Amino acid sequence: MKRKNKNKTRSYQTILSHIGRDPQKYFGLVNVPITRGSTILFDNLKKFENLDQEYSYGRMGNPSCESVEKIITKLEKAAGTVLAPSGLSAITSAIFSCTKMGDEILVSDSVYEPTRKLCDNLLAKFGVKTIYFNPNIGEEIAELITEKTSTIFLESPGSLTFEVQNLPLIAKIAKKHNISVIIDNSWATPLYYRPLLLGADIVVHAATKMFAGHSDVMAGTISANKSHWSQLKKTHQLSGLCLSPDDAYLIARGLRTLPIRLQAQMKGAIKLASWLEKQNLVKRVLHPALPSHPDHKIFKRDFSGSGSVFSIILQPAAKKALASLIDNLQLFGLGFSWGGYESLVMPAWPEKIRIAQKWKEKGQLLRIHVGLEDIDDLKADLEAGLKRYAADL
C-alpha cells in the first residue's frame, strides 16, 4: 500500500525506520536486498551514450548503497552523500575534494591519529601543507589563515581528548575567506549534532562505528552542502571509491536501530563517567556532557546528546599497574574502534602526537567505550581493575 507523505517534517526515529527502503519496488521486502554486480546492461546505444538509466556500472552506485546514502542525506540535511570503504577513506575523499597542490589545511590538534598520518604523509606528498591548531581555538584561528588556506578540518569532540570545537564561530570566519570546513561527526552522529546547519560544508562519519553498531563492517560516509556536493561527488567518482553492497546492507540494518542504541549507550556512558569522577585513582574524566568538562557550555549549546565514548586520566603509575588493570578485565575488551554493542578500553598517549597544544597531563589516558552491557556490571569490572591498579602503584 502506497502512503502519501502528508507531513514532510519527520523525526529522526521515523526517518531511520522508513527512508531508504521501498517495499513496492522489491516484491514487498521490508529491507532493500543486497544487490551485487559490476556489469549493468543498457537497452540501446542511445541510453549507453547518455548513461540514461538509474544505474550504469557497479562502482557508480547500486540500490544497496543508495539506500544508505538517502538515509544519511536526510539526517544531515545535506545536498547529497557518498559512501566509502572506511572512515579514513571518507576523510581522504572529503579533504581531496577541497584541496589542491600548494594549499594549506588547518587541522585540529585533537584529531585521531590516522587523520594526522594522512595529512603528514599523503597530503604532504601531494604538496598540501598541514598546520595544526589548538582544538579550543576561537577567533584566533583567523591569525592562522593565509592566502593558501583552503580547508579547515575539525573533529568535535576529539576522539581521544574530547575537546569540543566552536564550529559556528570557526565556520563564520572560514566563510569570510572562502575556506571549506570539514568535520568528523562520528561521535554524536546526526541524531545529536547537525554540523551542516552550524556552518560546516562537509560532514564525514566512520560508519564502522555507531552507524553499523555491531563491529562487523568497515565503512565511511561523506555528506556535503549544496555548494560542495558537485565537487565531492566528482572527486569520489574519480578516485574509484565504492562500498560493497554487502557492507551497505549491514550499515542500513544498523541505522534502523541507531536511536535506541545511541540513547542507551549515551545514558550508560554518562552514568559510568559520573561514577568514575568519584574514584580516587581517576584524576580527570573527559566527557563533554559532564558539567566538569571545560567545553560543556559549547556542548550544551550545539549538541542535543552525546556519544558512547569518553576518556579518563588515571593517577600516574608504572606500566605494570596499567597492564594489571587492563589484562584482567572481564567485560571490557582491549581494541581499536568503538560504537559496537560491546564495551572497550584503549590506552592512548596524546603527548606523543600533539603539536599545537602540548598534552601536559601527568597520568595515563584511558579511552572507554560503553556498550550495551548492564552498567552495574561494567562498574564492578572497572572497580576491580582500579583495585589491581592501586595494588601496583
- Of 194, 209, 354, 367, the catalytic one is 209
- The angle that helices 245-256 and 63-76 make with each other, rounded to 10 degrees, is 40
Contact 312, 280 (CB under 8 A): no
Q: Which CATH class is domain 258-391?
A: alpha beta
Is the C-alpha dihedral spanning 122, 124, 130, 135 positive or negative?
positive
Q: Which of 12, 21, 70, 184 is catalytic?
A: 184
- Whether residue 112 contacts residue 153, with contact meaning beta carbons closer than 8 Å, is answered with no
Active-site residue (options: 74, 109, 112, 295) = 112
The mean pLDDT of the chain is 93
Note the pLDDT tens digit of each residue in 318-377: 999 999 999 999 999 999 999 999 999 999 999 999 999 889 899 999 999 999 999 999
Read off φ and ψ for residue 64, nearest 5 degrees. Answer: -65, -45
Could you tell me the end-to-end alpha-carbon distance of the chain, in angstroms, rounded to an integer?
67
18-27, 138-147, 213-222, 380-389: least confidently modelled range:
18-27
Selection from 335, 338, 362 nearest residue 351 by Cα: 362
**pLDDT, average across residues 297-319:** 96
The identity of residue 44, as a single letter, is N
| Residue 112 a catalytic site member | yes
pTM of the predicted protein model: 0.92
110 in Cβ contact with 218 (< 8 Å): no
Pairing mode, strands 202-205 and 220-224: antiparallel
Asked whether the predicted pLDDT for residue 1 surpasses 50, the reply is: no
Alpha carbons 18 and 11: distance in angstroms, whole number: 11
Would you call 320 a catalytic residue per the annotation?
Answer: no
In this structure, the strands spanning 365-369 and 344-348 are: antiparallel
Contact status, residue 83 vs residue 68, Cβ threshold 8 Å: yes
Please state which of the ranges 6-10, 301-305, 359-363 shows the lowest mean pLDDT: 6-10
Residue 209 catalytic? yes
Please say if 125 is a catalytic residue: no
Predicted confidence at residue 7, as pLDDT, reads 47
pLDDT over 90 percentage in the chain? 82
List the Cα angle 318/322/325 in 5-degree steps.
Answer: 140
d(CA 217, CA 214): 8
Span 12-256: which CATH code? 3.40.640.10
Residue 5 pLDDT > 60: no
Instruction: Enumerate the CATH 3.90.1150.10 domain ranges in the chain, comma separated.
Output: 258-391
Q: CA-to-CA distance for 204 and 184, rounded, in angstroms? A: 5
When pLDDT is cut at 50, 70 and 90, the band that residue 4 belongs to is: low
Task: From residue 87, give the alpha-carbon distance in Å to each of 206, 255, 337.
Answer: 4, 16, 11
> SS3 of 20, please?
coil
In this predicted structure, what is the pLDDT of residue 223?
A: 98
H helix runs in 278-364, sequence order: 296-302, 319-327
Q: How many of the other CB atoms lie within 10 Å of CB of 6?
A: 5
More confident residue, 23 or 162: 162
Whether the predicted pLDDT of 105 surpasses 70: yes
Output 333 or 10, whichever has higher pLDDT.
333
The average pLDDT across 77-88 equals 97
Distance, CA of 51 to CA of 47 (rounded, Å): 5
Look at the chain and count its residues.
Answer: 393
Measured between alpha carbons, how far is 126 from 95 in angstroms, rounded to an integer?
Answer: 12
As a whole number of angstroms, the distance between CA 332 and CA 347 comes to 12
Domain with CATH 3.40.640.10 in the chain: 12-256
Residue labelled with grid coordinates 550508560:
268
> What amino acid is encoded at 70 in this protein?
K
